């Protein structure tokens, strides 16, 4: 398990977590009918992709950049807006973390799709959890979600970092209270995003598994068939 992706991460199966808010946005957008979510590292790369079928979305310093269609609040990704659209997403931490991951299977996880991710991971012999962190520092909300995945997956062989995350989860009594005390949670609340923190704290709001196809996150093939 990786608390902050500072170096290249190589594994067969990886799980990306950015609870506040990139992976929560990815899960919400796909669950509400977006065809794909393409993460890009820079604002310029995002804006050049903008057209009538593509929504350019994301944040810098937690707010929507100029010229973007949507910000990084998952509450913005309503089905009326994202149904049938491609999403291009650029955020400070989550989308940049993807640049450091090399793997065969890459999933996007949040509390919103916790059980679905755990079920998927049980199909694999092992996996590496990558927490996006916050500006190069450990993010409590990501570690909490990682700990939930470790605890619920039933993995027998755990690294020290996985054991630390699991202990954080087992000591937790309320996801919202814990996240709202985190540094990033406090920053978002101060900027008026309390509802985002509440939303991202919900467990199993959706039964979706976003998987990276090399350029974008899409739904698992079986889920795409059901959605069609």
Instruction: Please tell me whether residue 136 adopts helix, strand or coil conformation.
Output: coil
Instruction: Assess whether pLDDT exceeds 60 at residue 225.
Output: no
Instruction: Assess whether pLDDT exceeds 70 at residue 218.
Output: yes
User: Could you read off the pLDDT of 28-47 as tens digits, one per residue?
Assistant: 999 999 999 999 999 999 99
Distant-in-sequence, close-in-space partners of 155: CB < 8 Å, separation ≥ 6: 126, 162
pTM of the model: 0.95
Highest CATH level, class, for 9-219: alpha beta
Please report, for the chain, the start and end positions of each structural domain, with discontinuous segments joined by +: 9-219
**Average of per-residue pLDDT across 86-111:** 94
pLDDT, residue 228, reads: 52
User: Could you read off the pLDDT of 127-174 as tens digits, one per residue?
Assistant: 999 999 999 999 999 999 999 999 999 988 899 999 999 999 999 999
Contact indicator for 204, 112 with CB cutoff of 8 Å: yes
Model confidence band, residue 227 (pLDDT cutoffs 50, 70, 90):
low
Model confidence band, residue 222 (pLDDT cutoffs 50, 70, 90):
low
Mean pLDDT value across the chain = 95
**Average of per-residue pLDDT across 39-60:** 95
pLDDT, residue 96, reads: 83
Q: Over the range 188-217, which residues count as b (16 or more CB within 10 Å of their CB) and which as e?
A: bbeeebeebbebbbeeebbebbbbbeeebb
* DSSP string across 144-201: HHHHHHHHHHT-SS--HHHHHHHHHHHH-S-HHHHHHHSHHHHHHHHTT-HHHHHHHT
């Amino acid at each position: 398990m990786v608390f902050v992706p500072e170096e290249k991460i190589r594994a067969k199966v990886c799980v990306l977590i950015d609870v506040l808010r990139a992976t929560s946005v990815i899960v919400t957008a796909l669950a509400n009918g977006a065809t794909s979510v393409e993460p890009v590292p820079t604002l310029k790369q995002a804006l050049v992709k903008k057209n009538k079928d593509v929504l350019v979305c994301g944040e810098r310093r937690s707010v929507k950049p100029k010229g973007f269609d949507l910000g990084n609040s998952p509450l913005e990704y309503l089905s009326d807006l994202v149904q049938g659209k491609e999403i291009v997403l650029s955020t400070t931490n989550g989308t940049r973390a993807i640049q450091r991951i090399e793997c065969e299977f890459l999933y996007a996880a949040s509390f919103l799709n916790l059980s679905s991710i755990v079920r998927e991971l049980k199909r694999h012999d092992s996996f590496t959890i990558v927490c996006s962190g916050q500006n190069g520092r450990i993010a409590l909300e990501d570690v909490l979600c990682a700990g939930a995945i470790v605890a619920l997956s039933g993995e027998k062989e755990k690294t020290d970092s996985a054991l630390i995350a699991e202990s954080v989860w087992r000591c937790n009594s309320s996801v919202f209270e814990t996240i709202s005390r985190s540094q990033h949670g406090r920053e978002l609340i101060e900027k008026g995003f309390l509802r985002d923190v509440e939303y991202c704290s919900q467990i199993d709001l959706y039964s979706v598994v976003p998987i990276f196809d090399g350029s974008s996150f899409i739904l698992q093939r079986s889920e795409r068939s059901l959605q069609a």
